[in-house]
Structure 1
Amino acid sequence: MLPTLRYLNRQDVLQLGGTDPQQAFDDVLEVVRLMRSGEAQMPAESHVDLATPLGKAYALPARVGGRFNAAGVKWTAHRPQAEDGLPQALALTLVNDANSGIPRGLVESAALTATRTAAVSAVALRYAAPRPIRRVLLLGAGVQAQAHIKMLNVLFPQLETLICWNRTPTHLQRTLAALGDLPWPVECPSSLADALASEYDALISCTSAAQPFLGPQALREGTIVLQIGYHEMSFEGIRKASKVVADLWGDFCQTSAKSLFQMYRAGEFPAAALAADLSNLLIDGWRPDTNDSVYFSSFGLNVFDIALAARLLQDAELQQLGQTLPLFSRDSLC
């Protein structure tokens, strides 16, 4: 039988459970263990400039073994000033069989990216928070904020309160309305100052801010701050943390726009000062003290994207979902 390439569009991804927080959380746990055992690898990304102002397209390859058995590349076009009404980030993930190298499928990946990012945040909240998470302050109202609220809904039903703030209140209200009924009360302070003055055990920042707007006041004893956006936290804020944790420290520290890596390149944060990464949390059992203030930097590991896409393609084959395209004709192989 000649191989075919299976294409999954966004609707297929949703139908296959691509945005399920529990499945993504389970995938992340397994991939971290595969990375530690040498059964997964993630080389440095590469990129090219787009003609769109400030636009770049990134190629992020990875291989992951175990039940995923996939080698692939996530291809993402970032278009910060595009005015065509489409998302500013457009992502596709190409997956090959890791044993044979035969292409298995192509997956529209915007929802997968947000879901795996929220799943990594769930790991941080569960294992790197100094104290049990009861009150969460969430900043932002975009795709990442929505994915994080869905994750909290499924994985942290014990929350007492969710506090939400966004620069544009109407956008936040639309986001909350789209999510429907939530199992805990939601507070919406009118200003960032009021939001930061509230009581919280965890602060999750999911904004598109190009310049830091969070400082030392965000870090408090017994709390954790998760930075999901690129450059939301000032160097002074990071210095205030008694423990700094990241999903991973890799070659991307030389190029990433994340606040922590900018601080590293400025010579103001030595790599040895990192307290833990995901493998330390999940495999070595590292935990903060109850009086620590923890800052967690989420770079976003594309090895998780490859794993999630591979799982969906396996499920799609079983359920016969998506569109299949022949890679070859019989005549072309003669």
Structure 2
Amino acid sequence: MTTTTSDNSPSRPASIDAATIERAPRTPLVDALLECLRAGFDPEQDPPRTSTAVPSGQLLLMPSATSSWVGTKLVTLAPENPGRGLPLIQGTYVLFDGLTLAPHSLLDGAALTTLRTAAVSLLALRLLASEPPRRAVVIGTGVQAAAHVDALLECTGVEHIDVVGRRPGAATPLLQAARDAGRTARELSPAEVNTVTGADVVVCATSSATPLFGADLLDERTTVLAIGSYQPTTTELEPALVGRSQVVVESIGSALREAGDVLIARDAGLMDIADLVTLAALATGDVAPDPTRPRIFKGTGMAWQDLVCAGAIAPQSCQRPTPSTAVTT
């Protein structure tokens, strides 16, 4: 069955490349995510990501749907690719019209993931910060760390950013981005990570399997955005810090599947899953941020976030005929 446009010719999805996605302004994405949750979308009903073993690695599938859009992200993980000079992770996002289910666009999957992860973090910060953030600490120097620096510079009033990295010089592009935006910035080593004390926002964007800093270094002024770990056996945060903080997750189900920061604290008897707060509950006002203790957003990424961001980017990035409901077989 082939979907047709109003002139009876088959519709072809537009292609949106990484450069176009990277240029997308972030505030409209944050607004779209917030609007989706306030309109009643329930992330608990979002299908979990599935993984299929293939001869050269894994194929991951992340579908989601709203009344406006239907889509799925197809991601491959090829362990031998780095040795070939190719990315470990590659992917494509396929977006369909929500009414006609006609293909609308194909988006670069890696760029979309990077952009939406930072957008979700910005949403959490908007909902959780007790005061507009002025000083940020970003732990990590990879793609997500850079994306979060860019997001903080574009969408907040952050005046100073400390970047903590393992390799000397790795933070240089992130520092330059901050300075080019008229902010101050400095590079710190892991031995200087106690600089998190007094920060308004701390971004944890590493592949570390163990905690990055001590549990007693943060107070009630700090919002933590923990987005690096995504397996149930790894954590960037001390369980004791998780236990004494207000912890916000994308959904209870996804946290129980993938959020090691939460699960390890629970297994240590330091927190109760019943105390978790969801982004949706914050967005709708059912729960308020707690200004008396640190606030942690733990994100692992969900399919509905890709869908909302793709749906916000695609109409602005391509002009194509609106498909009708006519079909040919």
Scaled to the shorter chain, the TM-score interval is: 0.7 to 0.9
Whole-Å separation in 1 of the counterparts to 2:43 and 2:268: 34
CA contact (8 A) 1:72 1:96 kept: yes
- Equivalent AA in structure 2 for residue 122 of structure 1: L
- Asked whether the 8 Å contact 1:141–1:172 carries over to 2, the reply is yes
Give the alignment's TM-score, normalised by structure 2. Answer: 0.83
> Structure 1: how far apart are the matches of 2:147 and 2:98?
29
Partner of 2:64: 62
> Aligned partners of 1:82 and 1:309: how far apart in 2?
27
**Aligned partners of 2:51 and 2:203: how far apart in 1?**
28
Deviation by residue 1:117-164 (Cα, 9 ceiling, x = unmatched): 1122112222212444221111111111111111111111x2231111
Deviation at 1:222, TM superposition (A): 2.5
2:11 matches 1:8: no
Structure-2 change in CA distance of 1:93 and 1:220 (3 Å): same
Cα displacement (A) at 1:59: 0.7
Distance (whole Å) between structure 1 residues aligned to residue 28 and residue 225 of structure 2:
21
Quote the residue 2:222 is aligned against.
Answer: 223
CA drift at 1:10:
1.7
Q: Deviations over 1:255-307 (max 9, x none)?
A: 31542245457776432111x22122221163334331112101222212112
2:300 is the alignment partner of 1:292? no
Aligned twin of 2:76? 77
In structure 1, distance between residues paired with 2:259 and 2:58: 13
| CA pair 290-313 structure 1, distance change in 2 beyond 3 A | closer
Deviation of the 1:218 alpha carbon: 4.3
TM-score by length of 1: 0.81
For residue 260 of structure 1, what is the amino acid of its counterpart?
V
Deviation at 1:248, TM superposition (A): 2.2
Alpha-carbon contact 1:48-1:56 (below 8 Å) kept: yes
Show the 5 A alignment for 1:181-330. Answer: 181-189=180-188, 191-197=189-195, 198-230=197-229, 231-241=235-245, 243-250=246-253, 252-256=254-258, 258-264=260-266, 269-274=271-276, 276-284=277-285, 286-318=287-319
Q: CA deviation at 1:205?
A: 0.6
Structure-2 change in CA distance of 1:277 and 1:183 (3 Å) = farther
Matched, 1:28 2:29: no
The percentage of counterpart residues that share the same residue type is: 26
Is the partner of 1:171 in helix, strand or coil? coil
1:318 is paired with a residue of what secondary structure?
Answer: coil
Q: Deviations over 1:16-51 (max 9, x none)?
A: x43x211221221122223x2569952122111354
- CA–CA distance in structure 2, aligned partners of residues 165 and 71 of structure 1: 39
Q: How far off its partner does 1:7 sit?
A: 2.2
Contact 1:130 1:294 in 2 (8 A): no
C-alpha spacing 1:112/1:43, structure 2 compared with 1 (3 Å): same
Instruction: Show the counterpart of 2:136.
Output: 136
Q: Which runs of 5+ in 2 are unaligned?
A: 1-7, 230-234, 322-326
List gaps (5 residues or longer) in structure 1: 321-329
Cα separation, 2, equivalents of 1:39 and 1:126: 19
- Paired letter, 1:76: V
Are residues 220 and 186 of structure 1, via their aligned partners in 2, closer, same or farther at CA, if it must alter by over 3 Å?
Answer: same
CA distance in structure 1 between the partners assigned to 2:274 and 2:183 by the alignment: 39
Counterpart secondary structure, 1:74? strand
Provide the C-alpha distance between the structure 1 equivalents of 2:247 and 2:87, rounded to a whole number of angstroms: 32
Relative to structure 1, the CA distance from residue 154 to residue 86 in structure 2 (aligned partners, 3 Å threshold; closer, same or farther) is same
Asked if 2 retains the 8 angstrom alpha-carbon contact of 1:130 and 1:293, the reply is no
Matched letter for residue 210 of structure 1: A
Aligned pair count reads 309
Instruction: Return the alpha-carbon distance in structure 2 between the equivalents of residues 120 and 316 of structure 1.
Output: 21
